[in-house]
A and B are shown apart, each in its own frame.
Chain A
Amino acid sequence: MSQPLIEIKGVRHAYKTQAGPLPVLDGLELSVPEGGFVAVVGPSGCGKSTLTRLVAGLMKPDEGEVWLHGERVKGPRSTVGMAFQNPVLLEWRTILQNVMLPLEIVSTKMNKREQEDRARHLLALVGLEGFEDKRPSELSGGMRQRASLCRAIVHKPEVLILDEPFGALDAFTREDLWQTMHKVKAEEPFTGVLITHDLRESIFLADQVVVLSGRPARTQYVMDVHLTGDRDIEHLYTPESAEALNVLRHQIQIAQGRSPAEAVQ
Chain B
Amino acid sequence: MSLQKILVPIAAMIVFGLLWELLVWANGWPNYVMASPSDLPPAYAKYWNLFLVMGWQTLWRTVVGLVVAIIFGVLVGMVMGFSRVMRDALYPLLVGFNAVPKATVVPIVALLFVGAHDFNTVLIAFMISFFPIAVSVSIGLSTLEPEYRDILRSLGASQTTIFWKIALPKTLPEFFGALKVAVTLAFIGTNLMEIVSPHGRGLGALFDSGKTNSDYPLMFAVLIALALMGILLYYVVVALEKVFAGWAERTPG
Contact = CB atoms under 8 A, between A and B. Distances in A.
Contacts of A80: 154-155
Contacts of B153: 58, 76
A260 interface: no
Given A104-B165, A137-B250, A88 B151 contact: yes
Contacts of A51: none
A80 B161 CA distance: 18
Interface in A90-132: 90-92, 101-102, 104-106
Interface in B70-105: none
Interface stretch (B50-58, B142-150, B179-187): B142-150
A86 interface: yes
Nearest to A80: B154
A82 B169 contact: no
A135 B247 contact: yes
Interface residues of B, number: 21
Given A101-B165, A105-B161, A135-B247, A88 B155 contact: no
Interface centre among A56, A76, A86, A92 (most CB of B within 10 A): A92
Given A90-B166, A92-B169, A135-B247, A102 B155 contact: yes
Nearest to A57: B154
A137 B252 CA distance: 13
A157 to B, nearest CB: 9
Q: Which secondary structure dominates chain B's binding surface?
A: helix
A56 B165 contact: no
A100 to B, nearest CB: 12
B156 interface: yes
B157 A82 contact: no
Interface in A75-89: 75-78, 80, 82, 84, 86, 88
A155 B248 CA distance: 28
Contact of A90 (B155, B157, B169, B250): B169
Contact of B152 (A84, A92, A105): A105
A91 B247 contact: yes
Contacts of A84: 147, 150
Contacts of A82: 150-151, 154
A155 B155 CA distance: 10
A106 B145 contact: no
B73 to A, nearest CB: 22
Contacts of B169: 90, 92
A78 B154 CA distance: 7
B146 to A, nearest CB: 9
Given A86-B145, A90-B169, A105 B250 contact: no
B156 A76 contact: yes
Given A105-B161, A137-B250, A76 B147 contact: no
Interface in B102-119: none
Given A90-B166, A135-B247, A105 B147 contact: no
B248 A105 contact: no
Contact of A88 (B145, B157, B248, B250): B145
A175 B165 CA distance: 33
Contacts of A53: 150
A108 B112 CA distance: 60
B150 A58 contact: yes
B154 A91 contact: no
Contact of A105 (B145, B157, B245): B157
B154 A86 contact: no
Contact of B156 (A86, A105, A135, A137): A105
Interface of B: 145, 147-148, 150-157, 161, 165-166, 169-170, 172, 245, 247-248, 250
6 contacts: A56-B154, A57-B154, A78-B155, A88-B148, A90-B170, A137-B250
Interface of A: 53, 56-58, 75-78, 80, 82, 84, 86, 88, 90-92, 101-102, 104-106, 135, 137, 151, 155
* Ranked 8 nearest A-B pairs via Cβ: A92-B247, A56-B154, A105-B155, A76-B156, A88-B147, A105-B157, A78-B155, A84-B147
Given A78-B156, A82-B151, 7 more contacts: A76-B154, A80-B154, A82-B154, A86-B145, A101-B152, A105-B157, A155-B155
